[in-house]
């Protein structure tokens, strides 16, 4: 970067150095593609992740069709699929079992690694953490750019894998070996390479967020004055930083199994298709499961913590009162972070684990529900006695609470091994975690988009269509996921491309497959107003009348709208906690964090 006072190169500056001056970039490439500005990177993450979310949703729609109408040609898209993927994958427009498996594996992978986590931490984290702590940018802007580029190219690799010989990965988003190695497709190799990209991206991003929070808080922004959203990002970033590398190690090992013919995860005497596999053997499939779930359980909290953070900001602002139990929330989030590292094997009760080990993981799993419930209770109590503004973000935020509660409470029977043995790998599990992530996290992300849209673009999204989007989504989410509990308890297994016709213990539950399909179609229709509203409001929405349209207290609303390069037009100093709403004696019902106390 150019230097404005490079003449003084003594090493006795008071502040950072001249060549590190933070100039606004010029030109298309540096502005929009290789930008180092945290806000642009955040928007890049957001747009890409929303695209992938739509794509993952599309995969799900096609799967739901196949489940409700097994063996029938896919309407509209069927011929297109056949043309794109070949007749052995989608002959006559019918989704083959292999293609169904691809869609299932890639729906999970895309939703978790390419849509929700990047949206929650990459987009919201990048855009909001610096402005909420009063910083002008992230601590390492270039790493931030690299993080996005790695994410983007990881996504491209994943997307490309649909078109390689054999199709995309088919062994589930968990990629359990030996299945993952036995399926003859290059897609699995692409999946692994894509994952290495995505993991590296998330390492750079999470280290950046943590360093930013530790180092770049504005004067007066002490730890206990940070908005809860920043805390949630802080804990989530630590989870990503420490839980992902073991999966990277596992990914490298599975890649060696695929490419160099090693047997890290392939046991001696493995038979594939009835014949003894030609492998050296000596490996352990369980090792993969341990390394995978050591990431993937903390990953659940990476999905949910930023969502809780977003919800907290919106609830505090729209109830016009402080969050109930701010410190309790903070400590609970920290507890959640720590304990999430020692619960992973509750995904593995069916692996022949000894009862002693199972007891340990059952105990930790029950313990981790305590901080989760504390957080939820605090948020619920925060509503008490507030004069609530039911705008679109607040509707999503209030709906989040019961939806997330359903998701959380239905998890308890899965945390005990004796009930898990019955429910494992059924639609009950699908219903459970989708309640956490879909009407849970995704609702929070929608809430966040509606809430911060005026700050990012300077215009409001349309309230009416926002409400249509909300009610449609709320109703159809439940139409989709609620029947899955019954189906699961009736014994319907997941990952069956025929929708369980041949396996279901209680065939009278099959009609629900059709109900769920109609729900999915309804959910798709309910997203149309959102998509139109989103793009239309960028240029045609109602203009904001002030920099702080929601009359919020945190520093993100003290920036110009939209924030320019460097975020603030004056240096920020913080004098008070994040949620000083309705302070008695104050002339407005909100007191910004940077308002000087009266002498």
Partner 1 sequence: MQIPYTSKPRPDTGLYNAKVGLWLFLASEVMLFGGLFSAYILLRTGHEGPWPRGWLSVPIGTFNTMVLISSSISATMAWAACKMGQFNRFKMFHGITLLLAILFLGVKSFEYRDKLTHYWVETKSGVVADGHLVKKTDTEVVLHGVRTSDAAVLYDRTSADYKKLHHEEITIPTADIKKISNYQPKLNIYLSLYWCITGLHALHLIGGILVFGYLWGPGSSMWNRDRERFTNRIEIAGLYWHFVDLVWVFVFPVLYLF
Q: Which residues bind partner 1 (CB under 8 A)?
A: 6, 9, 11, 13-17, 19-22, 135-137, 139-141, 143, 203, 206-208, 210-211, 214-216, 241-250, 252-253, 256, 260-264, 268, 279-284, 286-287, 290-291, 294, 565-566
Q: Which is nearer to partner 1, 244 or 324 (CB)?
A: 244
- Give min distance, CB of 308 to partner 1, in A: 23
- Give min distance, CB of 475 to partner 1, in A: 42
Please say whether the beta carbons of 173 and 208 come within 8 A.
no
The Cα 337–Cα 241 span in angstroms is 12
Burial class (CB in 10 A: 0-12, 13-18, 19+), 328: middle
Q: Which is nearer to partner 1, 160 or 280 (CB)?
A: 280
Vertex 58: Cα angle to 55 and 60 (nearest 5): 115
Instruction: Tell me which DSSP letter residue 6 carries.
Output: T
- Give min distance, CB of 569 to partner 1, in A: 11
- Give min distance, CB of 176 to partner 1, in A: 16
Please say whether the beta carbons of 378 and 328 come within 8 A.
yes
**Helix, strand, or coil (residue 459):** strand
- Give min distance, CB of 249 to partner 1, in A: 4
Burial 100-126 (b: 16+ CB within 10 A, else e): bbbbbbbbbbbbbbbbbbbbbbbbbbb
Q: Report the half-sphere exposure of 366 (CA within 13 A, side-chain side).
A: 8
- Give min distance, CB of 306 to partner 1, in A: 18
Q: Which is nearer to partner 1, 99 or 203 (CB)?
A: 203
Q: Which is nearer to partner 1, 261 or 540 (CB)?
A: 261
- Give min distance, CB of 113 to partner 1, in A: 17
Helix or strand (DSSP H, E) at 272: strand 271-272
| 107 closest CA partner among 44, 63, 72, 165 | 63
Q: Which is nearer to partner 1, 317 or 339 (CB)?
A: 339
Q: Which is nearer to partner 1, 300 or 375 (CB)?
A: 300
Q: Which is nearer to partner 1, 231 or 238 (CB)?
A: 238
- Give min distance, CB of 262 to partner 1, in A: 4
Residues near 471 by beta carbon (within 8 Å), at least 6 away in sequence? 526
- Give min distance, CB of 199 to partner 1, in A: 10
Q: Which is nearer to partner 1, 246 or 491 (CB)?
A: 246
Burial 412-446 (b: 16+ CB within 10 A, else e): eebbbbeebeebbebbbbbbbbbbbbbbbbbbbbb
- Give min distance, CB of 291 to partner 1, in A: 6
The Cα 239–Cα 261 span in angstroms is 32
Please say whether the beta carbons of 548 and 458 come within 8 A.
no
Please say whether the beta carbons of 191 and 259 come within 8 A.
no
Q: Which is nearer to partner 1, 1 or 381 (CB)?
A: 1
The Cα 265–Cα 283 span in angstroms is 5
- Give min distance, CB of 211 to partner 1, in A: 4
The Cα 449–Cα 306 span in angstroms is 13
The Cα 486–Cα 516 span in angstroms is 12
- Give min distance, CB of 282 to partner 1, in A: 4
Q: Which is nearer to partner 1, 196 or 375 (CB)?
A: 196
Q: Which is nearer to partner 1, 224 or 421 (CB)?
A: 224
**Backbone φ and ψ of 493, nearest 5°:** -85, 150
Please say whether the beta carbons of 181 and 250 come within 8 A.
no
The Cα 36–Cα 17 span in angstroms is 18
Helix ranges (H only) for 69-184 are 78-85, 87-90, 97-109, 117, 126-133, 141-160, 179-182
Q: Tokens representing 168?
A: 């995309």
The Cα 269–Cα 246 span in angstroms is 27
Residue given tokens 């909290």 in the structure block: 301
Q: Which is nearer to partner 1, 248 or 313 (CB)?
A: 248
- Give min distance, CB of 287 to partner 1, in A: 5
Q: Which is nearer to partner 1, 278 or 502 (CB)?
A: 278
Q: Which is nearer to partner 1, 154 or 472 (CB)?
A: 154
**Beta-strand relationship, 271-272 and 275-276:** antiparallel
Other beta carbons less than 10 A from residue 208's beta carbon:
25
Burial 371-402 (b: 16+ CB within 10 A, else e): bbebbbbbbeebbeebeeeebbbbbbbbbbbe
- Give min distance, CB of 336 to partner 1, in A: 19
């Amino acid at each position: 970067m150019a230097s404005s006072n490079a003449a003084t190169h003594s090493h006795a500056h008071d502040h950072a150095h001249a060549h590190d001056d933070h100039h606004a970039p010029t030109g298309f490439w540096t502005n929009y593609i290789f930008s180092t500005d945290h806000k642009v990177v955040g928007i890049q993450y957001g747009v890409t992740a929303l695209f992938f979310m739509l794509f993952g949703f599309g995969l799900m729609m096609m799967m739901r069709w196949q489940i409700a109408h097994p063996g029938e040609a896919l309407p509209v898209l069927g011929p297109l699929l056949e043309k794109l993927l070949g007749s052995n994958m989608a002959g006559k427009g019918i989704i083959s079992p292999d293609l169904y498996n691809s869609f299932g594996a890639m729906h999970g992978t895309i939703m978790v690694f390419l849509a929700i986590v990047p949206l929650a931490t990459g987009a919201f984290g990048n855009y909001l953490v610096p402005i909420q702590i009063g910083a002008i940018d992230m601590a390492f802007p270039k790493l931030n750019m690299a993080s996005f580029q790695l994410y983007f190219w990881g996504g491209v690799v994943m997307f490309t894998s649909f078109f390689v010989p054999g199709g995309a990965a088919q062994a589930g988003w968990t990629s359990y070996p030996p299945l993952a190695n036995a399926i003859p497709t290059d897609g699995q190799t692409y999946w692994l390479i894509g994952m290495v990209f995505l993991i590296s991206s998330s390492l750079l991003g999470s280290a950046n967020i943590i360093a930013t929070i530790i180092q770049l808080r504005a004067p007066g922004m002490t730890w206990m004055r940070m908005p809860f959203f920043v805390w949630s990002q802080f804990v989530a970033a630590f989870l990503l930083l420490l839980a992902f590398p073991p999966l990277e190690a596992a990914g490298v090992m599975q890649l060696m199994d695929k490419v160099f013919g090693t047997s890290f995860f392939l046991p001696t005497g493995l038979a594939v298709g009835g014949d003894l596999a030609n492998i050296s053997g000596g490996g352990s499939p369980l090792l993969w499961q341990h390394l995978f779930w050591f990431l993937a359980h903390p990953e659940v909290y990476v999905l949910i913590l930023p969502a809780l953070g977003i919800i907290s900001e919106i609830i505090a602002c729209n109830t016009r009162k402080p969050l109930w139990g701010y410190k309790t929330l903070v400590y609970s989030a920290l507890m959640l972070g720590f304990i999430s590292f020692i619960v992973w094997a509750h995904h593995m009760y069916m692996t022949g684990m000894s009862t002693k080990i199972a007891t340990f993981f059952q105990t930790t799993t029950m313990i981790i529900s305590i901080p989760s419930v504390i957080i939820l209770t605090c948020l619920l109590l925060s509503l008490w006695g507030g004069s609530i503004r039911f705008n679109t973000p607040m509707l999503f935020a209030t709906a989040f609470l019961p939806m997330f509660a359903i998701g959380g409470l239905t998890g308890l029977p899965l945390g005990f091994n004796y009930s898990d043995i019955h429910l494992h790998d059924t639609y009950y599990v699908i219903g459970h975690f989708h309640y956490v992530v879909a009407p849970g996290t995704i609702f929070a992300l929608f809430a966040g988009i509606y809430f911060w849209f005026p700050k990012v673009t300077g215009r409001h999204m349309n309230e009416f269509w926002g409400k249509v989007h909300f009610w449609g989504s709320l109703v159809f989410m439940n139409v989709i996921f609620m029947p899955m509990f019954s189906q699961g308890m009736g014994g319907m297994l997941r990952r069956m491309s025929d929708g369980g016709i041949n396996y279901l213990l209680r065939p009278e539950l099959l009609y629900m497959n059709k109900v769920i399909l109609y729900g999915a179609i309804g959910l798709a229709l309910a997203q149309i107003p959102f998509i139109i509203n989103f793009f239309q409001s960028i240029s045609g929405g109602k203009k904001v009348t002030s920099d702080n349209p929601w009359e919020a207290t945190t520093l993100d609303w003290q920036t110009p709208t939209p924030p320019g390069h460097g975020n603030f037009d004056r240096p920020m100093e913080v004098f008070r906690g994040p949620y000083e709403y309705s302070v008695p004696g104050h002339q407005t019902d909100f007191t910004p964090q940077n308002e000087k106390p009266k002498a």
